[in-house]
Amino acid sequence: MLVPTALTGIPAGEPRAGKVYELTVGGTITTGAAGTIIITPRYGLVIGGTSLGASPTQNYVPSITTAPFLYRCLLVIRSVGLPGANSTVICTGKWESGGAVATASSQTSCAHCTTGAAISVDTSVAAGLWIGMTVSVAPSIIPQWHLWRSLN
């Protein structure tokens, strides 16, 4: 996970239709061998929360030392219904990290979004936004700061 869900809390009953939450994370990444990255945001309190749509599998630049990264994700509450998975959300995010110095177009960029219909979740219980990252060859990802806020 990129940041613990304890840092991205959504109190029970707080979401309302049209509410937008933003998570921004910055830090550094060091990569070894060539590999791939998949980003999967989830709504809930634990790793097994509701998936909000995984990114496509994206190659990342190998052999990069302490490149800066910036990840930004927006979670939009589309509708709020009765308790249970009767509310809907959509989620869109993008990862950007530096590439090989003095090499054009070598940065890593990986975007994800909820495709098709909005995802059903339960907004009547406390939850959080969980960002899962699956990386084929373990890099060193060091989040140095994060910003979690409601935009409205």
pTM of the model: 0.91
What is the per-residue pLDDT for 107? 86
Strand-pair partners of 112: 93
Lowest mean pLDDT among 68-72, 83-87, 105-109, 117-121: 105-109
Chain segment 44-89, per-residue pLDDT in tens: 987 678 999 999 999 988 888 888 999 999 999 999 999 999 999 9
Q: Outline where DSSP puts E strands in 5-150.
A: 9-10, 20-30, 35-44, 50-51, 58-60, 67-79, 87-97, 108-113, 119-121, 127-135, 140-150
pLDDT band per the 50, 70, 90 thresholds, residue 137 = confident
Q: How far is C-alpha 115 from the chain's CA centre? A: 15
Helix (H) or strand (E) holding 5: none
Which pair of tokens denotes residue 31?
A: 């990569």
Lowest average pLDDT, out of 5-9, 36-40, 56-60, 127-131, goes to 5-9
